Chains A and B, each alone.
Chain A
Amino acid sequence: MPLRAPLPFLFLAVLLPAADPGDPPSPWDQATLGLIREAYRNFARQAGPNREARFGEAVTLLNLQPKTGANLDRAASLFTDIIATEPADGLGVSARYYVARIAHVHRTSPDDATALRIYRELADLSSPHPLAQRALVQLALMEIFEPRLDPAEVRVRFERLTARGAALTESSAVRDFHLVMGDAALRFNLGEAIALDHLLAADRVGLARAATQRDTWVRIAELGRRTGRNDIAVTYYQRFLENFPRDSRRRMIIERLAALLPTSESSREHPQVEVTR
Chain B
Amino acid sequence: MKREKILPLIGFALLLICFGVALARVFSRQRAASDPNEIVIRIAHWQLESGIRDAIDTLAREYERQNPGVRIEQNPIPERIYPSWLRTQLVGGTAPDLIEIGKGSDDETLARFFVPLTEHVEQPNPHNAGTSIAALRWRDTFLDGLGGGDCYKANLLEYYGVPLSMFTARMYYNVTEWKRILGDTPPPADFDGFVAICERVQQHAAATGEKIVPIAGSHYGTPWFASTLVGGQTQRLTQRLDETLIMRPHGTEIALQFVAGRWTLDEPDFVDGLLLARQIGRFAQSGFIQSNREDATFYFVQGRALMIVTGSWDAPSFRSLAPFETSAFRFPMPSPDHPRFGAGTYGPASEADTPTSAAFGLTRASRHPERAVDFLRFLTSQQGNSTFSRVSGWLPSVVDVELQPLLKPFEPLSDGYVNGIGLEMGGGTDARRVISANFGTLFDANADVTKFQDILRAQLPDAMRSDLLRSLRQSAINTARQDTPLAAHIILHEQRPDVAEHRRKQSELLETQTMQELRRAWVLHELEAAP
Contact = CB atoms under 8 A, between A and B. Distances in A.
Interface of A: 8-9, 12-13, 15-20, 22, 28-29, 31-36, 39, 52, 55-56, 59-60, 62-63, 65, 90, 94, 98, 101, 105-106, 130-131, 134, 137-138, 141-142, 145-148, 171-173, 175-176, 179-180, 183, 186-187, 207-212, 215, 218-219, 222-223, 226, 246-253, 272
8 contacts: A16-B91, A145-B522, A208-B507, A208-B511, A246-B414, A248-B352, A249-B350, A251-B417
A183 B505 CA distance: 23
Contact of B156 (A16, A17, A33, A141): A33
Contacts, number: 201
A249 B94 CA distance: 45
Contact of A63 (B419, B481, B490, B517): B481
Question: For chain A, what secondary structure do more than half of its interface residues adopt (helix, strand, loop), or is it mixed?
Answer: helix
B313 to A, nearest CB: 20
B10 to A, nearest CB: 32
Across the A-B interface, the 6 shortest Cβ-Cβ residue pairs: A34-B111, A147-B528, A16-B92, A19-B93, A145-B521, A248-B350
Contacts of A212: 511, 515
B177 interface: no
Interface in B245-267: 245-248
A38 to B, nearest CB: 9
A90 B113 CA distance: 33
B144 A246 contact: yes
Nearest to B475: A105
B246 to A, nearest CB: 4
Nearest to B350: A248
Contacts of B480: 62-63, 101, 105-106
A16 B90 CA distance: 10
Given A13-B92, A172-B507, A248-B353, A131 B490 contact: yes
A29 B489 CA distance: 8
B107 interface: yes
Given A16-B92, A207-B511, 15 more contacts: A12-B88, A15-B92, A31-B487, A32-B489, A59-B484, A98-B487, A146-B525, A147-B528, A175-B511, A208-B504, A208-B510, A248-B417, A248-B418, A251-B417, A253-B247
B506 to A, nearest CB: 7
Contacts of B38: none
Contacts of A138: 517
A59 B483 contact: yes
B525 A147 contact: yes
A173 B112 CA distance: 31
A223 B247 CA distance: 12
Contacts of B508: 208-209
B346 interface: yes
A208 B501 CA distance: 12
A183 B347 CA distance: 30
B518 to A, nearest CB: 6
B484 A219 contact: no
